[in-house]
Chains A and B, each alone.
Chain A
Amino acid sequence: MSRSGDQWLDREAGPLVRPYAMTQGRTRPSGDSFDLIAVVAATGEPAGEALRYSPEHQWVLRRCERPVSVVDLASDAGLPLGVVRVVLGDLRDEGLVRVVATIERSEGRANLGVLREVLDGLRAL
C-alpha cells in the first residue's frame, strides 16, 4: 500500500500525458499573457497549416467559435490554465484567435455601469 510508486496514481492523477508535453514544455505564451477572465474568440481566419500543433489546439480553436473566457476554456478542456494560455498564444500568433474583452486595468476601478448591472442581476436571481 505504501510503496512509493503508488503515490503516482491516485484518482486525481489526471491524463497520462504530462500536460506541458502538449506545449513542448512551454509554460507561458509568446506575447502578453491571457487574463483569467479575458474573453477570447476565433477570428474566423481559415486555420490551414496552423493546426499542425496538437489536438488541444484544434479543440481550443473550435471552442473559440463562440466568445469564451480563458478560465472556462481551461475548465472545459480539463487542462491547466498555463497550457491553455500557451495554446491560445500559438493560435493568436497565427491570427486565429484574439482577445475580444479583457478586464479594465486603468485605475483598478470598476465601471459603475457594470456594477449597477451586476447588482440588478444579483437581485433578480
Chain B
Amino acid sequence: MASAPSDPPQLVTTKILIAGGFGVGKTTMVGSISEIRPLRTEEPLTDRGVGVDDLSGVERKSTTTVAMDFGRITFNERLVLYLFGTPGQERFWFMWDELALGALGAVVIADTRRLTDSFPSIDYFERRGLPFVVAVNCFDGADRHRAEDIAIALDLDSGVPVLLCDARDRESTKEVLVSLVEHVMRWETPEQASQ
C-alpha cells in the first residue's frame, strides 16, 4: 500500500567533512561550491558531551546546541553530496563522531601561518581511519610553500595528498574534492586497504 510503483527513485545521500582550525576557510570552501548558501543548523548537546562539557548540577539540561554549517551538491535526482564544516571549538569534539559516521572522507584545510591548528583534525581522522586530504588555503600574504614541505611539517603518512588551494574559488574547491574522492577510491581498494 505504502510502496506504490510510482515511488520516486531511491535517493542516496553522502557526505564529506570540511575540517581545520578556526577561521581557516571551512565555511568559505563549502560556500564556493555548494548549490545553496551554506546553511546553519543546530545540534543538541547530548550525553555524548559529558566529560567534554561539565554538566554537573545541570544534568537535566540537555538542550544546549552547537551550530554547524553545511552545503549541498545535487548531482542528479538520486545522488546528493553534503559538505559539513566541522565545529571549530574543541569542546564540540563529541559532534565529530556523528559527522564522521558514514562520511566518504574529509578535507583538512590548513593555513601555513598556523599549521598547528590543523593537527587536531589530522589526528582525529588518522585515529578514526577516515581518509582525508590536506588543502592548504593560500591566503593573500601568506608564504607559498611547496606541498611536499607542508606534508613533512604536518608529519603526514605518505600517500595523503596535499594540495594548495584557494577556498574562495569554485574550481579550486572542485579540484580538492576530486582529489579527495580519488584518494578515497585508492584507499578503498582491497590491496591497499589491507596494508
Interface residues of A (CB under 8 A from B): 19-20, 27-28, 35-39, 41, 43-45, 66-67, 69, 71-72, 74-75, 80-82, 98, 100-101, 103-105, 108-110, 112, 114-119, 121-123, 125
- A82 near B101 with CB under 8 A, answer no
A81 to B78, CA, bound (A): 23
- B44 near A121 with CB under 8 A, answer no
Smallest CB gap from A18: residue in B:
B63
- At the interface, yes or no: B116 with Cβ under 8 Å from chain A? no
- A37 near B102 with CB under 8 A, answer yes
- A72 near B72 with CB under 8 A, answer yes
A-B pairs under 8 A by CB, number: 124
- B188 near A112 with CB under 8 A, answer yes
Pick 23 A–B contacts, CB within 8 A, sort by A: A27-B62, A36-B82, A37-B13, A44-B1, A44-B2, A67-B11, A71-B41, A71-B70, A75-B70, A80-B44, A80-B65, A81-B42, A98-B2, A103-B101, A103-B102, A110-B104, A110-B188, A114-B14, A114-B104, A115-B185, A115-B188, A118-B79, A121-B76
- A117 near B185 with CB under 8 A, answer no
Q: Mark B68-107, 1 if CB is under 8 A from A, else 0.
A: 0010110110011110100000000000001101101100
Smallest CB gap from A110: residue in B:
B104
> For B14, what are the chain A residues with a Cβ–Cβ distance below 8 Å?
37, 103, 110, 114, 118
Shortest Cβ distance from B73 into chain A, in angstroms?
A: 7
The verdict on A82 contacting B63 (CB below 8 Å), with A105-B101, A125-B33 known, is: yes
* Chain A interface helix/strand/loop/mixed: mixed
> For B15, what are the chain A residues with a Cβ–Cβ distance below 8 Å?
36-37
Among B160-195, those with CB < 8 Å from A are 170, 174, 177-178, 181-182, 184-185, 188
Shortest Cβ distance from A82 into chain B, in angstroms?
A: 3
- A114 near B12 with CB under 8 A, answer yes
> For A125, what are the chain B residues with a Cβ–Cβ distance below 8 Å?
33, 73, 170, 174
> For A75, what are the chain B residues with a Cβ–Cβ distance below 8 Å?
39-41, 70
Shortest Cβ distance from B176 into chain A, in angstroms?
A: 10
- Give the number of residues in B that approach A within 8 Å (Cβ atoms): 47
> For B42, what are the chain A residues with a Cβ–Cβ distance below 8 Å?
74, 80-82
Partner among A66, A74, A121 whose Cβ is within 8 Å of the Cβ of B41:
A74
The verdict on A82 contacting B188 (CB below 8 Å), with A75-B40, A121-B79 known, is: no
Smallest CB gap from A113: residue in B:
B12
> For A118, what are the chain B residues with a Cβ–Cβ distance below 8 Å?
14, 75, 79, 81, 104, 181
Smallest CB gap from A105: residue in B:
B102
- At the interface, yes or no: B4 with Cβ under 8 Å from chain A? yes
Partner among B46, B99, B104 whose Cβ is within 8 Å of the Cβ of A27:
B46
> For B181, what are the chain A residues with a Cβ–Cβ distance below 8 Å?
115, 118-119, 122
- B75 near A69 with CB under 8 A, answer no
Q: Which of B42, B82, B184 gathers the greatest number of chain A CB atoms within 10 Å?
A: B42
Closest 7 pairs (CB-CB, A-B): A103-B102, A121-B75, A82-B44, A80-B42, A37-B13, A75-B39, A43-B2
